Amino acid sequence: MKPFSSYKNPALAVDLVVFGYHEQNLSVLLLNRKEAPFKDQWTLPGAFLQIEETFQQTCSRILKTKLGMDDVYLEQLFSFDDPARDPRGRVISVTYYALVNPHKLEIAAGKMANDVQWFNVKKIPALGFDHKKIFDKALQRLKSKILYFPVGFELLDELFTMSELHQLYECILGIEIDRRNFSRKMLVAEYVINTGQKREGLQNRHPELFRFNKKLKHHNFQLNIINP
């Protein structure tokens, strides 16, 4: 084996798929590149890993400096290794996906550079690098994860109605779910807790507000929907 220092190392980038939920639509944050390669094309936000950084720290740096946000749900997605994925040379991309609540970022919205924009996941433009592949993988992961892990709550406010949760699931999974069965399932699985409070000021009956049950033993939960 060669001595440790003689290896030529590829560059290591961290790229992020940031999901948000706006007006009953799942959306993703894209960045319009200002420099080559893929100048003026949309890409996922990313940065090169600095030698002393953990992946999470790189993620935080991207979120803070490029997007003006912090403290979000992050999960490692996959590492991409196509030797041709970056025209500048060999770059490995370690990817994460993030779930953010855009409401909580309204202050941050001002800080967001004007080359950053939310796109409905059903209408995303052509992406530079292999970022379409990364995005596809992230969406697929989110779809399957939400069936057995409380991952969707990160996209909602702390208090939410059953309809809001129901719509979120239908939107992410892209299928219809019977609202009555959905509600029962969420309650008997103790996935959510009824706060007793109600949402005021709506036109119709005031719906009850729920919060996520953080004490749940998640292993028990499974939404029996075959992943489409």
Partner DNA sequence: TCAAAAGTGTTTGTACTACACCCATGC
Partner DNA sequence: GCATGGGTGTAGTACAAACACTTTTGA
**Which residues here bind DNA, judged by CB under 7 A?**
161-163, 178-181, 183-185, 188, 198, 200-208, 222, 224-225
From a second copy, DNA, none, which one binds at residue 49 (CB under 5 to 8 Å depending on kind)?
A: a second copy
- Please report where in the chains the tokens 């003689």 appear, as a residue: 6
Burial of 35 (0-12, 13-18, 19+ CB in 10 A): exposed
> Which member of 94, 121, 156, 186 binds a second copy (CB under 8 A)?
94
Q: Does position 89 bind a second copy by CB under 8 A?
A: yes
From a second copy, DNA, none, which one binds at residue 108 (CB under 5 to 8 Å depending on kind)?
A: none
Please say whether the dihedral angle defined by the alpha carbons of residues 214, 220, 225 and 228, taken in this order, is positive or negative.
positive
3-class secondary-structure state, position 18: strand
From DNA, a second copy, none, which one binds at residue 35 (CB under 5 to 8 Å depending on kind)?
A: a second copy
Question: One symbol per residue from 26 to 65: x for binding a second copy (CB under 8 A), - otherwise; what is it?
Answer: ---------x-----------xxxxxxxxxx---------
Q: Which of 105, 85, 94 minimizes the C-alpha distance to 37?
A: 85
* Contact assessment for residue 210 and residue 172, using Cβ atoms and an 8 Å cutoff: no
Provide the CA 182 distance to its chain's centre, in angstroms. Answer: 23
Q: Does position 190 bind a second copy by CB under 8 A?
A: no
Q: Does position 4 bind a second copy by CB under 8 A?
A: yes
Query: How far apart, in whole angstroms, are the C-alpha atoms of residue 51 and residue 54?
Result: 9
Q: Which is nearer to DNA, 114 or 224 (CB)?
A: 224
Q: Which is nearer to a second copy, 11 or 202 (CB)?
A: 11
Phi–psi pair at 199, nearest 5 degrees: -80, 120
Q: Does position 125 bind a second copy by CB under 8 A?
A: no
Kindly report whether the peptide bond that precedes residue 228 is cis, defined as omega within 30 degrees of 0.
no
Q: Which is nearer to DNA, 113 or 175 (CB)?
A: 175
Q: Which is nearer to a second copy, 55 or 124 (CB)?
A: 55
Query: How far apart, in whole angstroms, are the C-alpha atoms of residue 171 and residue 151?
Result: 14
* DSSP single-letter state for residue 8: P
Q: Which residues bind a second copy (CB under 8 A)?
A: 1-2, 4, 7-12, 35, 47-56, 76, 78-79, 81-83, 88-90, 92, 94, 219-220, 222, 226-228
